[in-house]
């Protein structure tokens, strides 16, 4: 145990990151910059080869059989844990543990970073490993949830407080020691289950409040009140209030998914939580609701299916190219399915394939050629766009500050 701690302290431990997506790849680069010997593994051969081209010295693998696992001390798992039909899909994690099990040696540390429900780490990792090892004595297990905010330049792995937990006290000491070398601040959890729940709660908190803002905005429309001004005024309160902007819905891997993750877990335990489930449903229904509102605007303004329409922004949030659970992409798909004459611009998403057709991002300077502009994702570079006064602009993000007759906010 002390020997392991000394190896981490002196950065002599060799680290393997399993899963090189939005979480794993930035983590690998940070661990490397901090002076650790680190390698990466991802079964996506194309992704690995792409990274190898850009980082020729990086030690990267796409085949488990190519790796000598005995030379690694720390394994960090950052694999996707999606929902399928509102049921958690832990297949990536389970398959990985099945492949790892015969290759593991004593005195290794496994840390799970993926989002999941409480008890996942214990059920999928610890319960399997304790058949072969004495956890806390000759093998160590921890959980440390990722807290990435893609596109936010103010926060990164180093300056976001890092929650750490372990199966035993010794496990937590090792997890804390490792992440203390990478992150500016480490926050200890008394158990893995509490850390797992904290991660879910962070995201549920967000989706609940976004859903509240969206529902309140719909109510305000019906009683002829400007919700944007309501939000602006409420935000002046210096305590007890946090503004959440309404929009076409929350996207990304975690935020729209986690309420249903947690709800599945609660139903398994026969515990009711109507509030969280309702918030999740409100969020999921937003893109279809916005699409129907857009069609009403079209009908009111004599916009036909032959009218030239430009859709601004497909990613789920500004300044990134991430399409996972993107409400903007979903709205765009609805318009495609209804056979509207529509194109898109998104400098972060160069192309997208829908209905067996590839759509390429159009130059933003061609905006004057379109009769209708739908602004769905508020990328920063759109602030420089000179919107033509002759265009009908449908603003889904309250992005265009000036009140113009041709701007309709939904």
Residue 35 sits in the same domain as residue 150 = yes
Grouped pLDDT means (10 residues each) for the chain, 410 residues: 88 96 92 95 93 87 92 95 87 94 94 93 94 94 91 88 97 97 96 96 93 95 94 95 92 85 90 89 93 95 94 95 93 95 95 90 89 94 83 89 79
Q: Which two tokens stand for residue 29?
A: 């680069």
Q: What are phi and psi of 180, to 5 degrees?
A: -65, -25
Whole domain around residue 96: which residue ranges?
2-190
Q: How far is CA 410 from CA 71, 217, 223, 390, 394, in A?
A: 56, 9, 15, 19, 7
C-alpha span between 85 and 71 (Å, rounded): 39
Q: 104 in a domain, yes or no?
A: yes
CB neighbour class for 168 (10 Å; exposed up to 12, middle 13-18, buried from 19)? middle
406 near 390, Cβ under 8 Å? yes
Structure letter (DSSP) for residue 126: I
What burial letters (b/e) apply to 86-103, b meaning 16+ CB within 10 Å?
Answer: eebebebbeebbeebeee
- Which residues is 141 bridged to in the sheet? 110
Give the helix/strand (H/E) hosting 359. Answer: strand 357-360
What burial letters (b/e) apply to 362-397, b meaning 16+ CB within 10 Å?
Answer: bebeebeebbbbbbbbbbeebeebebeeebbbbbbb
Q: Give residue 211's pLDDT.
A: 94
Q: Give residue 304's pLDDT.
A: 93
Q: Give residue 377's pLDDT.
A: 95
Q: Give residue 242's pLDDT.
A: 94
Q: 376 in a domain, yes or no?
A: yes
Q: Give residue 180's pLDDT.
A: 97
346 near 379, Cβ under 8 Å? yes
Tallying the residues shown for the chain, one arrives at 410
Q: Give residue 3's pLDDT.
A: 83
Is 220 considered catalytic here? no
C-alpha span between 387 and 355 (Å, rounded): 30
Residue 118 sits in the same domain as residue 7 = yes
Q: Please tell me the total count of domains within the chain.
A: 2
- Listed residues 166, 190, 214: the one ending a domain: 190
**Rg from Cα positions in the chain:** 24
- Listed residues 168, 190, 212: the one ending a domain: 190
Q: How far is CA 376 from CA 98, 219, 289, 331, 397, in A?
A: 42, 21, 14, 9, 6
C-alpha span between 255 and 248 (Å, rounded): 14
Residue 303 sits in the same domain as residue 173 = no
C-alpha span between 393 and 409 (Å, rounded): 8
Cα distance from N-terminal residue to C-terminal residue, the chain: 59
Q: What are phi and psi of 77, to 5 degrees?
A: -100, 120
Residue 172 sits in the same domain as residue 304 = no
374 near 396, Cβ under 8 Å? yes
Please choose, from the candidates 142, 140, 145, 110, the residue with its C-alpha nearest in 3D space to the C-alpha of residue 23.
145
Residue 147 sits in the same domain as residue 296 = no
Residue 54 sits in the same domain as residue 181 = yes
Residues 6+ apart with CB under 8 A from 285: none
Q: What CATH number has the domain bearing residue 318? A: 3.40.50.720
Q: 208 in a domain, yes or no?
A: no
32 near 59, Cβ under 8 Å? no
Q: Give residue 401's pLDDT.
A: 67
Q: Which of 171, 183, 220, 254 is catalytic?
A: 254
Structure letter (DSSP) for residue 361: P
Q: 232 in a domain, yes or no?
A: no
Please choose, from the candidates 126, 151, 149, the residue with its C-alpha nearest in 3D space to the C-alpha of residue 139.
126
């Amino acid at each position: 145990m002390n020997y392991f701690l000394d190896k981490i302290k002196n950065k002599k431990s060799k680290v393997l990151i399993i899963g090189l997506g939005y979480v794993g790849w930035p983590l690998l680069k940070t661990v490397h910059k901090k002076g650790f010997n680190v390698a990466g593994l991802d079964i996506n051969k194309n992704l690995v080869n792409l990274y190898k081209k850009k980082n020729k010295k990086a030690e990267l693998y796409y085949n488990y059989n190519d790796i000598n696992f005995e030379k690694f001390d720390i394994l960090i798992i950052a694999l996707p844990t999606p929902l399928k039909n509102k049921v958690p899909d832990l297949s990536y994690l389970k398959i990985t543990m099945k492949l790892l099990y015969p290759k593991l040696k004593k005195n290794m540390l496994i840390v799970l970073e993926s989002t999941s429900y409480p008890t996942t780490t214990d059920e999928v990792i610890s319960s399997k490993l304790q058949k072969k090892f004495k956890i806390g004595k000759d093998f160590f297990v921890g959980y440390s949830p990722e807290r990435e905010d893609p596109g936010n330049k103010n926060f990164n792995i180093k300056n976001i407080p890092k929650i750490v937990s372990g199966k035993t006290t010794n496990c937590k000491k090792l997890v804390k020691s490792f992440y203390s070398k990478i992150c500016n601040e480490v926050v200890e959890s008394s158990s893995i289950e509490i850390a797992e729940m904290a991660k879910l709660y962070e995201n549920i908190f967000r989706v609940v409040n976004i859903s509240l803002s969206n529902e309140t905005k719909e109510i305000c429309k019906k009683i002829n009140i400007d919700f944007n001004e309501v939000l602006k005024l409420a935000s002046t309160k210096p305590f007890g209030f946090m503004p959440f902007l309404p929009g076409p819905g929350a996207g990304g891997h975690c935020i729209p998914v986690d309420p249903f993750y947690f709800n599945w877990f609660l139903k398994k335990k026969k515990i009711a939580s109507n509030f969280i489930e309702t918030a999740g449903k409100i969020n999921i229904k937003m893109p279809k609701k916005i699409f129907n509102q857009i069609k009403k605007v079209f009908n009111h303004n004599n916009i036909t299916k032959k009218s030239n329409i430009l859709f601004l922004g497909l990613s789920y949030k500004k300044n990134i190219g991430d399409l996972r659970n993107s409400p903007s992409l979903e709205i765009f798909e609805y318009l495609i399915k209804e056979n509207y004459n529509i194109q898109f611009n998104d400098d972060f998403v160069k192309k997208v394939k829908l209905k067996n057709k590839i759509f390429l991002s159009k130059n933003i300077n061609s905006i004057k050629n379109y009769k209708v502009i739908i602004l769905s994702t508020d990328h920063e570079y759109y602030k420089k766009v000179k919107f033509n006064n002759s265009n009908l602009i449908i603003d889904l993000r309250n992005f265009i500050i000036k009140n113009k007759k041709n701007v309709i906010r939904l």
